[in-house]
Structure 1
Amino acid sequence: MKNPTLNSALVIAEIGTSHGGSLEKAEKLIDAAVDAGADAVKFQWVYADEILHPDTGFVDLPGGKVRLYDRFKALETDESFFRHCLDYARSKNAKFICSPFGLKSLEKLLKICPDYIKIASPELNHFPLLKATAKNRGDIPVIVSTGVSRLEDIEEALGILGTDKVTLLHCITCYPAPEEEYNLRLVKTLSQKFSVDCGISDHSLDPVLVPCLAVSQGAKIIEKHITLSRETDGLDDPVALTPEQFALMCHTVHQSQAVLRHYGSQKGEAEIIRQMEETAGKQRVERILGTGIKTLAPSEKENYGRTNRSLHFLQDMKAGQIITENSVAVLRTEKILTPGISPRFLEAVQGKTLVRDVKAGEGVLFEDFENFEQAIKNN
């Protein structure tokens, strides 16, 4: 199997759920990714109940408006599906990477021993998942995406996972993500601050700009979605690269890596930037490179607290009822529901008595319990 070396990056083809539950299509996507030059393929192990509440809202797809929960429910597959995909990917000399979204999918993923575990951006604050990953991953490396996050969110996640065999991916959680918001100098900032390798998870539509400029900043991983067609109904297909575009990306990324090997890191960085300026313009390239200061991208700001995790009620409850482990869950808020308090308070709310009636799906709030916020602050 290929391994990234000095001035080299692991190229990941994010298949996600684009297979639609079809093994035949999954194999075609793996074939397309490998033929295009990917070093690894990445899947998502979906159980709808681990991700969101049924009443979270709707999503517009080529076939029409669909309840988002139902879309995730339709993407559920069994362990044999992922085991087959893992074996097939390795038969093609590609690494197999997969994202779990909760404790159930993590447990099943660990059974098949992936080459990497990927923590997606919305799960950066899924503290039960992070703790279980840290405890049970053994020697399996972990890749952590950092979209729609603040610096303190990354710091808290790494405080749980540790930094051994952990790679960060700078990311913008927006579909598609504007190239000029990517602030790619963050690759160096995050790597230096946390003493880990850093790469990029790119949701922009251009197959060249962000990946190549990320290589100039020392990215050790380049991840981008792949699809057989942008016209199909996969959740991420509209922002994914076709096989031809993915091959172009791999080619230009490898060229950029060759520049770094030839010139060395400093001169190589300047040369890659110069080449990108010839096609995209100096001002645009400078905006894409950004300041290197970690902030929420403009396109992410309104989603902070919605695409990442918070506590939500699982059923209607009345004032006076006591919270049990089956009353609340760590979920994404997504479309129409109200965000709740941080998942760090999951254990603290157990046994608490409600002071008001609540509806299923609502975010759990401090004011749902008497003197709860003050008690937390005092502790």
Structure 2
Amino acid sequence: MKIIAEIGTSHGGNLEKAKRLIDCAVESGADYVKFQWVYADEILHPDTGFVNLPTGKIPLYQRFKELEVKPSFFEECLKYTHEKGALFMCSPFGIRSLEELLSIKPDAVKIASPELNHIPLLKKLAELRKNQNIPLVISSGVSHLSDIEEALSILGRENVTLLHCITSYPAPEDEYNLNLIPNLSRVFGIPCGVSDHSLDPVLVPSIAAALGGTMIEKHITLSKETDGLDDPVALTGEQFALMSHCIRQCEAAFRQYGENAKGYILKQLEEEYGERVEKIMGDGVKKLAQAEEANYGRTNRSLHFMRSMKAGEVINMEDIGVLRTEKILSVGLHPRFLDKVIGAKLTRDVEKGAGLQWEDFTIHN
């Protein structure tokens, strides 16, 4: 099982802190060190709402703006990661970050759950992968089976790993439904693992390993008390090392007992955690977890007006953003309809940030 230490944006734009996080990840047993290539306008509209931080309530868009760094930052992180003997993975959030990411030749690209339906991004990635068959990891939080199928129909399945995920921070262990790991692998014919946002460093990762997961992703932090967006749900280095040790113990069990190792591992976990193990395994049917039901459509992407416009105006590409709706804006049309929207004429006035609706425009063939 490959272990991903998700640094994300916990570095806060500070290169020295990023290097300390890389050191922590590698020393704690990570195979991959992962970052997020953030440009705020690829993710959110400026009017998307607020986020509560220890320093107060601030606009979420502005928080992402503060996390923007130059490409040279990631070049240095990639170089340093390689020097430490690990692999470099990163998530892009739009076309610009994708192209800049591929230009530094990462070891793998990760598509995060909210971008699973970012159709323009997926199409561009599929185009660029034709000449550079870089390993690809995609997360499937806050999604239906049809969403995964559509994404894979664009990206293909060669050199792709799927991560089951619950998009909730923290994610309740009991809702993880880890029997999805072997089921999704069979359905799509690709390796499957888990992106884990639960707080326990042992339970979800160990059960995932027992069920044949090939990859585990967990956030890592230097301290849960710092102001990184994901720091409260991340593992400290000591916790991450414990997780890595448990996963390697599961692998050793498979080497010793073969397929019988699954029962052996689960029995050991049940002796310590009781009936929680069975609950975490779930029924293996793909559905939205209760913790993420309210986020479907809001956390993932839809079409939004970038400026206020008047009835009669024609919609151009620069007028539309493929964005996360998040806090207060209205959810728009699915990104798959972007091509139909461009060139359409507005039938009524619209406000900046609002999600596009079919009633907003007419399409002229």
Q: State the 1:369 CA deviation.
A: 1.6
Is contact 1:323-1:354 (8 Å) kept? yes
1:260 matched to 2:257: no
Which residues in structure 2 correspond to 1:29-68 (within 5 Å)? 29-68=21-60
- For residues 132-151 of structure 1, the aligned pairs below 5 Å read 132-137=124-129, 138-151=132-145
**What residue number does 1:14 align with?**
6
Kept in 2: contact 1:184–1:213 (CA 8 A): yes
Measured in 2, the distance between the counterparts of 1:74 and 1:86 equals 21
| 1:359 aligned counterpart, secondary structure | coil
**Residue 311, structure 1, aligned to residue 303, structure 2:** yes
Q: Following the alignment from structure 1 to structure 2, what is the Cα–Cα distance between the partners of residues 361 and 22?
A: 31
Any idea what the Cα deviations from partners look like across 1:20-76, whole Å, max 9, x if unmatched? 000000000000011111111000000000001000000011111111000000000
Q: Over residues 126-169 of structure 1, what are the superposed CA-to-partner deviations in whole Å (9 max), with x where a residue is unaligned?
A: 01110111111212110000000000000000000000000000
Q: Is 1:88–2:76 an aligned residue pair? A: no
For residues 1-379 of structure 1, what are the structure 2 equivalents within 5 Å?
9-137=1-129, 138-265=132-259, 267-281=260-274, 283-370=275-362
Aligned residues: 363
Distance 2:255 2:334 in 1: 44
SS of 2:327's partner is: coil
**Structure 2 Cα separation of the partners of residues 218 and 327 of structure 1:** 45
Unaligned 5+ runs, structure 1: 1-8
**In structure 2, how many angstroms separate the alpha carbons of the residues matched to 1:64 and 1:250?**
35
Shift of 1:260: 1.5
2-structure distance, mates of 1:338, 1:269? 45
Alignment-mate amino acid for residue 268 of structure 2 = Q
For residues 40 and 356 of structure 1, what CA distance do their matches in structure 2 show?
A: 49
Say which SS state the counterpart of residue 345 (structure 2) adopts. coil
Unmatched runs of 5 consecutive residues or more in structure 2: none
Residue 181 of structure 1 contacts residue 290 of structure 1 at CA under 8 Å; is this kept in 2?
Answer: yes
- CA shift, 1:262, in A, is 1.2
Cα displacement (A) at 1:329: 1.1
| Alignment partner, residue 5 of structure 1 | none
1:95 and 1:118 map into 2 onto residues whose CA distance is 13
**Partners of 2:119 and 2:105 in 1: how far apart?**
22
In structure 2, the residue corresponding to 1:177 is in which secondary structure? Answer: coil
Alpha-carbon contact 1:147-1:171 (below 8 Å) kept = yes
Code of the residue aligned with 1:327 in structure 2: it is D
Contact 1:175 1:239 in 2 (8 A): yes
